[in-house]
Structure 1
Amino acid sequence: MPSQESSSLSILLLDPRRHRSHRYLQSIGETPGIALIGSARDLTEAYNLTEHEHPDLVLIAEEVTRLGNFPMYAAMLAALEVDCILIAAGLRPASGPYTSITDVDVDRAGGLGPYLGTRFGLRRQPVQPCPRAHISDGWKTVVIGASTGGVEALIQVLSAYPKSCPPTLIVQHISGTYLPGLAQRLDRHCSAQVRPAAASDSLEPGLVLMAPGNDRHLSIVPPGRRCRLVPGAPVSGHRPSVDALFHSAATLGPAAVGVLLTGMGRDGAEGLAAIRRAGGWTIGQDEASSTVYGMPRAAFEMGAVAQQLPISRIGPALLSAAAQSTERSRHG
């Protein structure tokens, strides 16, 4: 556990109730100094995340401790020297050997994030975006990630683009054999030009670049005037990887807009969180309009999504967010 006046705290949230956990996750995601490694709905998921990620702290809904297999999880926490705090839904803390707080304590502090920040003395660290991040002719740079169901989602998003659109880079999980054909199809639905990226392409208004093939990652070269194709192992299980692209976009600070669309798994969730921490704007597709609510769910549950929208509204929203005069902290 970090000592008082620590600068960072890695956290896992274990809470089976979706509505409450979303409220907690939003608060944690907005609090500097806290790194959310994941959100678990059951003990099996929590066990796996704890074993692989080794958080500093696990926040546990009180009702989970009444499950028959909780003692096994508690034993693992003790063996790994991972601390835990129980969150009681009522007015009184839970009884027992564990530190316990209540929803009242959380609300009184202004949310779970501020409560933890105060309790553990986390120092507020200012965001350090690249001061010379390139903003191209009034547009910020847009990065988009998609997987299962992404083709139709991308058609809807790009159909909203004007001819002089923000510089845009896309990673769509698809066989490299089919990527050129997909780029041509998207190009027919978009007023701007859509094509596979080439090494050292310039990022320009009116140009949408897609990660080509399956042997290299697409990334942005700071301060954001061109892209590059980088050989390397798969990231988050994929090559090209949404996370690889998004992490490179985070170097642009507030000059980046990240969008995570429908898809299976969690590729892009960590990268979207990095963009948000760096001051960029982030958008996630909602569950109702997603073919598979996997990647956007993972991002939303870790507090990486600033704006969750149906696919029909994402195109106009990202154009608004990418306008140079648009403030990062408030969009539609």
Structure 2
Amino acid sequence: MTGTTTGPCPGKPIRVLIIDDFPTDRARLARMLQNEGDITSLGQVATGPAAITLVARERPDVIVLGLTTSDGSGQNLIEQVMAHTPTPILVLSTQIENRQSPSAVDALVAGALDVLPVPVRWTPDLEAGLRHTVRQLSRVQTIRHPRGVRARPAGAAPAPSGRNRQTVVALAASTGGPKALATVLAGLGGLVAPVLVVQHLHPDFTGGLYDWMTRVSALPVEIAVHDQVARPGRVYLAPGGLHLRLAAGLRLELASTPATIHQPSANELFHSVAQNAGPAGIGVILTGMGDDGAEGLLEIHRANGQTLGQDEETSAVFGMPRAAYRLGAVSALLPIDLVAAAILRCAARGTA
């Protein structure tokens, strides 16, 4: 299930909740944010259950979260907030050099909307940039991320998860896709999961795609065969002109129906992964024209799987990732060279 929140009403101050473990940092952030009068601090609190409770009670327009530890507590807080009270979250951290840092990727995958490094010294320009980012985030609609729903208090019945299922990765791309797929597959060394790939391509060019992916992929690549069992650590390409689906028992299904604009169809693949992998599904939508895959990726998201998309800057055509993002189907938009690392993290943590 997805949910949305709306930004502040025009003319009203942007209500910000500051969450940071250090009182001096919280006070400094409050002063910087309120400097021009259009942003107001609802309060300041340390990370932990009290912060989650305060978010639910105050319903801020934006959360500014200081990540000061590497124990995963910050990511857990992001997941809990986004699961129960979806709110735009800006992460500030001394562990982040830029948006490509591992801690930044983890925060984005958990549900944060943006990340910024904490400078050695806050200059007037940096303070103005912080306020500008908060203003931008206050206008963004947020979606409910189901990952935090899986956490349960001690003694509670365990929630269904993907840990008892085989993780399955589904990749889909169209225009500009072969190059993007080459980048992702080259970075998946050590992945213990089958990888199912849909690339919009004329059947005559399937062989060429297979040859290219075989050369660059860190995992063995083969063209999918109907009714074969998908094995962990292998890549299966959909043949041109046929839909590729995941069936029960990790079996692969090839079909010429339904008749769609694109055969293979990203939606057909993603829908099947949502149905048969559930929370163990990792769906990734890459560069491409149109909106194929958006609805199917949303189904993976609703099934508590993980969903990633290629960002606009590195996409040849941002159509497919944009359509999925606008539906609320994408947990994080990432540069193409960070997608493989994000997939590996999702699979390794058992959060897929």
Identity %: 38
Mapped partners of 1:132, 1:200: distance in 2: 23
Q: Is the 8 A contact 1:143 1:249 kept in 2?
A: yes
Which residue matches 1:186?
A: 213
Structure 1's consecutive aligned runs of 4 or more residues displaced over 3 angstroms after TM superposition are 107-111, 129-136
Mapped partners of 1:217, 1:130: distance in 2: 29
Deviation at 1:146, TM superposition (A): 0.2
1:218 counterpart (226, 244, 258): 244
Q: Is the 8 A contact 1:234 1:240 kept in 2?
A: no
Query: Using a 3 Å threshold, how does the CA distance of structure 1 residues 301 and 108 change in structure 2: closer, same or farther?
Result: farther
Deviation at 1:190, TM superposition (A): 1.3
2:168 counterpart (141, 144, 152): 141
Q: Is the 8 A contact 2:162 2:279 kept in 1?
A: no
Q: How does 1:105-254 map to 2 (within 5 A)?
A: 109=59, 135-136=165-166, 140-162=167-189, 165-214=192-241, 216-223=242-249, 225-235=250-260, 237-251=261-275, 252-254=277-279
Mapped partners of 1:302, 1:292: distance in 2: 18
Query: Using a 3 Å threshold, how does the CA distance of structure 1 residues 294 and 239 change in structure 2: closer, same or farther?
Result: same
1:144 alignment partner, SS class: strand
Q: How many residues align?
A: 221
Can you give the 5+ residue segments of structure 1 that lack an aligned partner in the other structure?
Answer: 1-28, 35-58, 62-86, 93-103, 116-123
Higher helix share: 2
Mapped partners of 2:281, 2:182: distance in 1: 21
Query: Using a 3 Å threshold, how does the CA distance of structure 1 residues 189 and 132 change in structure 2: closer, same or farther?
Result: closer
Deviations 1:97-147 (A, max 9, x none): xxxxxxx9xx96467x969xxxxxxxx9x99x98899734xxx10000000
Q: Is the 8 A contact 2:161 2:280 kept in 1?
A: no
Mapped partners of 2:12, 2:218: distance in 1: 57
Deviation at 1:180, TM superposition (A): 1.7
Which residue matches 1:13?
A: none
Deviations 1:258-312 (A, max 9, x none): 0000000010111111100100000000000000000001111121111110000
Query: Using a 3 Å threshold, how does the CA distance of structure 1 residues 179 and 165 change in structure 2: closer, same or farther?
Result: farther
Query: Structure 1 length as normaliser, TM-score?
Result: 0.59
Deviations 1:236-262 (A, max 9, x none): x31110001001000221110000000
Mapped partners of 1:279, 1:265: distance in 2: 25
Deviation at 1:230, TM superposition (A): 1.9
Deviation at 1:231, TM superposition (A): 2.4
Which residue matches 1:53?
A: none
Q: How does 1:24-103 map to 2 (within 5 A)?
A: 30-31=2-3, 88-91=9-12
Which residue matches 2:36?
A: none
Q: Which amino acid aligns with 1:177?
A: D
Q: CA RMSD in A?
A: 3.4
Can you give the 5+ residue segments of structure 2 that lack an aligned partner in the other structure?
Answer: 14-39, 41-56, 62-83, 87-145, 151-158
Mapped partners of 1:197, 1:133: distance in 2: 25
